[in-house]
A and B are shown apart, each in its own frame.
Chain A
Amino acid sequence: MLARLTRLAAAALAGLAVLPAHAEDKVVNVYNWSDYIAKDTLETFTRETGIKVKYDTYADNEILDTKLSAGKSGYDVVFPSASPFFAAQVKAGMYQPLDVARLPNAAGLDKGVMANLAKVDPGNRFGVPYMMAATGFAYNVDKIGKAMPDAPVDSWAMLFDPAVVSRFKGCGVSLLDTPTEAVPAMQIYRGKDPQVQNADSLAAAMEALTPLRPNYRYVNSERYRADLANGDICLAHGYVGDLVQSRSRAAEAKKKQDIAIVIPKEGALVNIDVMAIPADAPHPEAAHAFINFILRPDVIAGITNEVGYANAVPAAMDKTDPAIAKDPVIFPPAAVQAKLHTPPPPAGRDYDRARSRAWSKFRAAKK
Chain B
Amino acid sequence: MRVGGWRGGVGRALVLAVPYAWLVLFFLVPLLIVGKISLSEMRAGVPPYEPILDFADGALVGVRATLENFALLFEDDLYVGAYFQSVGIALVSTLLCLLIGYPMALGIARARPDRRGPLLLLIILPFWTSFLIRVYAWMGILKDEGLLNGALLWAGVISEPLVILNTDAAVYIGIVYSYLPFMVLPLYATLEKLDPSLLEAAADLGARPWRAFLSVTLPLSLPGVVAGSMLVFVPAVGEYVIPDLLGGGDTQMLGKALWDVFAFSRDWPTAAALAVSMLAALALPIAVFNRLQARLEPEEK
- Distance in angstroms between the alpha carbons of A172 and B143 in the assembled complex: 11
A65 lies within 8 A of B263 (CB): yes
Which residues on the B side are within 8 Å of A213 (C-beta)?
250
Stretch at the interface among B42-50, B216-224, B227-235, B277-285: B42-50
A177 near B249 with CB under 8 A, answer: yes
Is B192 an interface residue when CB atoms closer than 8 A count as contact? no
Report whether A218 and B166 are in contact in the complex, using a CB–CB cutoff of 8 Å: yes
Partner of B252, one of A63, A66, A360: A360
B257 contacts across to A, CB distance below 8 A: 360
B262-283 interface code vs A (CB 8 A; 1 in, 0 out): 1111111010000000000000
Tell me which of A85-93, A192-200, A260-268, A334-342 binds B: A85-93
Partner of A366, one of B29, B45, B250, B260: B250
Number of chain B residues whose Cβ lies closer than 8 Å to a Cβ of chain A:
40
Which A224-278 residues have C-beta < 8 A from chain B? 230-232
Contact (A179, B145) CB under 8 Å given A1-B33, A1-B34, A88-B44? no
The reply to whether B252 and A363 form a contact with Cβ atoms under 8 Å apart is yes
> Does A68 sit within 8 A of B, measured CB to CB?
yes
Point out which of B44, B72, B264 has the most chain A C-beta atoms below 10 A from its C-beta. Answer: B264
Is A326 part of the binding interface, using a Cβ–Cβ cutoff of 8 Å?
Answer: no
**Closest residue to A367 on the B side, CB-wise?**
B250
Q: Could you tell me the distance between the alpha carbons of A1 and B49 in the complex, rounded to whole angstroms? A: 13
* A305 interfacial contact with B, CB 8 Å: no
Main secondary structure of the interface of A (DSSP, over half): helix
Cross-chain contact A356 with B250 (CB below 8 angstroms)? no
Partner-B contacts on A (CB < 8 A): 1-2, 4-5, 60, 62-63, 65-66, 68-71, 88, 91-94, 172, 177-179, 213, 216-220, 230-232, 279, 349, 352-353, 355-357, 359-361, 363-367
CB of B53 closer than 8 Å to a CB of A: no
Are B44 and A91 in contact, CB atoms less than 8 angstroms apart?
yes
Shortest A322–chain B CB gap in Å is 35
Residue of A nearest to B43 (CB): A92
How far does the Cβ of B72 sit from chain A's closest Cβ, in whole Å?
Answer: 7
A69-B46, A363-B250, A363-B252 known; A88-B260 Cβ under 8 A:
no
**Bound Cα distance A1, B268 (Å):** 11
Contact A364 B250 (CB under 8 A): yes
Q: 10 more A-B contacts (CB under 8 A) besides A179-B264, A353-B267?
A: A1-B30, A4-B33, A66-B262, A94-B46, A178-B264, A216-B249, A218-B247, A219-B249, A232-B145, A360-B252
Interface status of B248 (Cβ within 8 A of chain A) = yes
Contact (A353, B252) CB under 8 Å given A92-B45, A92-B48, A360-B78: no
B residues near A177, Cβ cutoff 8 Å: 249
